[in-house]
Amino acid sequence: MNNSMPDSSTILRETWNNGTTLLAYPNLTSPAVYFTGYMQPGSIADPDEMHGLASFTTDMLMTGTKHLNFQQLHDKIESIGASLSLSTGHLSTTFFGQCLREDLETIWSLLVEVIQEPAFTEKQFKRVRNQILTGIAIQNQDTAEMASQAFNRALYGSHPYAHPEIGYAQTVSGIRLEQLESFHANHYGPNGLVMAVCGGIEPEVAREIFSRTLGTWQNNTQSPPETLPPFTPPASSIRSHVALEGKNQSDLIIGVPAPKTVSRDYQVCSIGNSILGQYGMMGRIGKVVREKAGLAYEVSSHLGAGIGPTAWTIVAGVNPDNLEKAIALLKQELVRFCSEPVTEQELQDVKTQAMGRLPLSLETNAGIASILVSIERYGYSLDHLHQLPSIIESITAEEILASARRYWDLDKLVIASAGKALE
């Protein structure tokens, strides 16, 4: 990999009249090229009675086009040793793939065909619907997934983020083929599409290929992007539990709304989060709750990133009989986290780790392409990677304490769990 860190002098960024954007960075020692990106739509475009519509539509795209049936499409991708996948999140549909340099135009042309001219056959519609319903049935018996869904319902309330992207069995069962076709025609288009590519191809060559493929895509009927409604955090603590009998483990989530991803608070909380439940063997909470007290099989903390409201959470897998004890001990650790500064040793250890992770994330084509997408999504400067070390180094223990107190409001915790029924 190129020893220099990507910046404004080495990243090609260009926009096209159809609303698409390309970011490209070279790694000419690699024979492979990796690309990833996002476009409309996300599940926030789902009508209330049709949760899962956007995700269902995306799942249909790789089942064949107007020119290639399912087998022909996948044989063509496999014959050149390439990969291509799509999935839908709350805000957008993401795509990613890999190929050899000489096959980039072929795979991007296929991507355009897949997203512009899907076949939507009845046979594939029934097959994909059955797959989705089977997936939902499996999720409904998974304690971690049910705890996560209960947490999202409690935290987000009437906000679209309260619903799983995949939808619910009752909503997916009611979706008709013509509704998928209509949703696709209205929402899929070039406006807002972002692509990042890294690998053994000169950025200027990637730009030329993009101009001939995604840069020429048109859809004059594409709807404008959905806007996120305001998010109102819970006004008091919420406790939710999903009873699933016959489970040997209960899964637990404790959380609060997180800071905006594009903010200094986020960088400060990211360092604090590593101390709380990431560094070493799952940070402070891993040491206290798992190692010393033996109350959890696994426990860690996570700081969500994204456009719109995200969450700062602690997740744990516990013996059902230890659920309330684990909650009590985790609350004690949160009180400590919000009442005294982290130690200088903790701070320096985590800063060193963060500095070390940065170059590691740039060791692969996929890592760089993913970072380029994030830079574009969050509106960062192309020199963001050069600026990040000084931002990390400037974070103080006092800032972490102030941010912990600001976001971990212990009187407004959302606590969700799933497993054996509570007594």
What are the sequence ranges of the domains in the chain? Answer: 12-216, 238-419
280 pLDDT tier (thresholds 50, 70, 90): confident
pLDDT confidence of residue 423? 80
Cβ neighbours of residue 195 under 8 Å, at least 6 residues apart?
Answer: 20, 21, 22, 23, 35, 36, 37, 210, 214
Quick one: which of 78, 59, 21, 83 has its CA closest to 366?
Answer: 83
pLDDT of 2 higher than 60: no
Selecting from 3.40.109.10, 3.40.30.10, 3.30.830.10, 3.40.50.300, what CATH number does the domain 238-419 have? 3.30.830.10
**Where is 199: in which H helix or E strand?**
strand 194-199
Cα→Cα distances 333→15, 262, 280, 418, Å: 48, 27, 17, 22
Same fold across 12-216 and 238-419: yes
Give burial (CB, 10 Å; 0-12/13-18/19+) of 105: middle
Q: Say how far apart CA 265 and CA 399 lie, in whole Å.
A: 9
pLDDT of 183 higher than 80: yes
Question: At 281, which amino acid appears?
Answer: M
Q: Mean pLDDT throughout 298-310?
A: 96
**Where is 208: in which H helix or E strand?**
helix 203-212
pLDDT of 3 higher than 60: no
Average pLDDT, the chain: 96
Instruction: Please report where in the chains the tokens 């089977």 appear, as a residue.
Output: 134
At residue 360, φ and ψ (nearest 5 deg) are -60, -35
Selecting from 3.30.830.10, 3.40.50.620, 3.40.190.10, 3.20.20.70, what CATH number does the domain 12-216 have? 3.30.830.10
Instruction: Please report where in the chains the tokens 């500064």 appear, as a residue.
Output: 341
Note the pTM of the prediction, 2 decimals.
0.94
Cβ neighbours of 255 (radius 10 Å): 24
Beta strands, E only, 69-180:
83-88, 93-100
22 pLDDT tier (thresholds 50, 70, 90): very high
**Where is 29: in which H helix or E strand?**
none
| pLDDT tens-digit map of 252-261 | 999 999 999 9
Quick one: which of 61, 271, 71 has its CA closest to 180?
Answer: 61
Give burial (CB, 10 Å; 0-12/13-18/19+) of 363: exposed
Cα→Cα distances 119→61, 83, 363, 373, Å: 8, 20, 38, 29
Cis geometry, peptide bond prior to residue 41 (ω within 30 degrees of 0) = yes
Tokens at residue 184, please? 């696709």
